[in-house]
Structure 1
């Protein structure tokens, strides 16, 4: 595949399907965009025509749905050819299935998030892999900076919901990994930044509250630590009717606070964070089985 025909697919926070810099999706109808987005999500895998019609035209009779699929494929193929006639190789069709070509020449934000989260989860597996590669944290941070937003936010088909939740969980796995790495390196500003981003999405995440409290304790900002604890206490009581965990309250023990702030990787909260990653892995497996 020629270098100038590289395919870039964006599925997080919106939808782009760029071949040689031209966004093919921009000129398509919403219906055609949904089909192309589905195929781009399954990039490199053959998808049966029957599966496509059931996912994208569930309310039409089978024959009408198949005609709609064929018409939509024709329009997509025409748009690709109009952008670059050599790019037509990206859409592969047969009598029974359809595929968007995959390979090293394809860059997908979803594929990158899935690959990185798999590497992170492997570190906390029952039989963990070797220590994290030295470049893993920078790669994760770069991916978080480049890719944000939910999976195909303007698509409301049934097939998109479990995928959206699965990718939200994978994104959270990456965020938590960056926080854990920053805490171990005593990089309090970075830990605070990413823990705050986690709380912005999930205010009930008590572990993230703990991380922010530890950052404040480690930098001697007791007032900020107390304010974070009060926020945690209030939101848990208001939304769930529960009090903070004993470990959260214990952060203010004058004997425990310095030790827990300076050695977060040895605190009980870190073990709970790893347990959460294990739970995320199990949930991802269940979600993938349903897709």
Structure 2
């Protein structure tokens, strides 16, 4: 987009735009808020009235409409500085009754995060821990701070930031689950301790911490984590732990063999290596998900190749 110019829109932190590796100057907070309001609704028409409400939800100034038009004009020059005078804008386009920001989904970090997190979750459901860890780690790495940090006081930004932060937490929990499936119990303990401290009412990271501690030979610490969680839930919400957390507690108490980690089965990707002289037919690539980063090439005896 943008005539061969690489443009990146960033919402996972302060609102930023980068053109070919150079950060774009976006102006003051209100002007950046206009861009953010358009970005969170990218591809959809945002009316001028909606933008006015986004910027001044309580008491808009008399010349609010004219001010929005100035902000849009400034943003157009910032986004497309090489656009000839009089030429139509290609990114921030007028479309009655307002404006639309045209950007590929992959150019907006928030959209890319959602895509990667969803693919990582799907890989986790498919018991492909190695791929899940790679995708989820990439998704988590897109964050630079709190979403929409520099326009966070705007109501539209608060709602979007809250939605993204919830997805961020789920992504972090999925990533830990992927790491646990690969046998990296000790490595995730510190991360889980921080997650539990920040979100003491969330049962999933607490359960993950119990499992990581138990598999690291720290049964007593795992039981202490459960006791702390039980106390907090009773004190804060007046409820007992959920059934799954209770079941895990009993399993830790009884040292249930089912809690022990077992290396996952190798995942067949279905990728056939390039044929070289001397190669036998029916060979497929198998990726070992043990976390050792090995690639095993095995010969699959296919019916066609060995009739």
What is the SS of the residue equivalent to 1:159? helix
Partner of 2:110: 110
Q: 1:16: Cα distance to partner? A: 0.8
Looking at structure 1, the residues matched to 197 and 52 of structure 2 have their Cα atoms a distance apart, in angstroms, of 38
Once residues 3 and 220 of structure 1 are traced to their aligned partners in structure 2, the CA distance between those partners, rounded to angstroms, is 58
CA RMSD of aligned residues (A): 3.4
Size of the alignment, in residue pairs?
A: 257
Unpaired stretches in structure 1, ≥5 consecutive residues: 266-291
TM-score (norm 2): 0.70
Instruction: Measure how far apart 1:92 and its partner are.
Output: 1.5
Q: Distance in 1 between matches of 2:147 and 2:70?
A: 26
Q: Pick closer, same or farther for the CA change 1:95–1:220 going to 2, 3 Å.
A: closer
Which residue of structure 2 lines up, in the alignment, with residue 91 of structure 1?
92
Query: What secondary structure does 1:166 align onto?
Result: helix
Larger Rg: 2
Matched with 1:235 is 232
Is residue 219 of structure 2 the alignment partner of residue 218 of structure 1? Answer: no
1:167-182 equivalent positions in 2, closer than 5 A = 167-182=164-179
CA distance in structure 2 between the aligned counterparts of 1:70 and 1:254, rounded to whole angstroms:
68
1:60: how far off? 4.7
The separation in 1 between residues aligned to 2:235 and 2:67, in whole angstroms, is 50
Between Structure 1 and Structure 2, the one with more helix by share is 1
Relative to structure 1, the CA distance from residue 202 to residue 3 in structure 2 (aligned partners, 3 Å threshold; closer, same or farther) is farther
Greater CA drift, 174-183 or 187-196: 187-196
Cα pair distance change 1:209/1:133, threshold 3 Å: closer
Structure 1 pair 3/225, CA: closer, same or farther in 2 (3 Å)? farther
Equivalent position SS for 1:8: strand
| C-alpha deviation, 1:144, in angstroms | 0.6
Q: Which of residues 175, 183, 192 in structure 2 aligns to 1:195?
A: 192
Gaps of 5+ in 2: 265-307
Higher relative contact order (CA closer than 8 Å, sequence separation 6+): 1
TM-score by length of structure 1 reads 0.73
| C-alpha spacing 1:249/1:93, structure 2 compared with 1 (3 Å) | same
Q: Do structure 1's residue 153 and structure 2's residue 154 form an aligned pair?
A: no
SS at match of 2:9: strand
State yes or no: 1:207 paired with 2:204: yes
The answer to which of 204-213 and 182-191 deviates more is 182-191
Distance 2:51 2:130 in 1: 41
Q: In structure 1, how many angstroms separate the alpha carbons of the residues matched to 2:127 and 2:183?
A: 19
The Cα of 1:111 is off from its aligned counterpart by 0.4
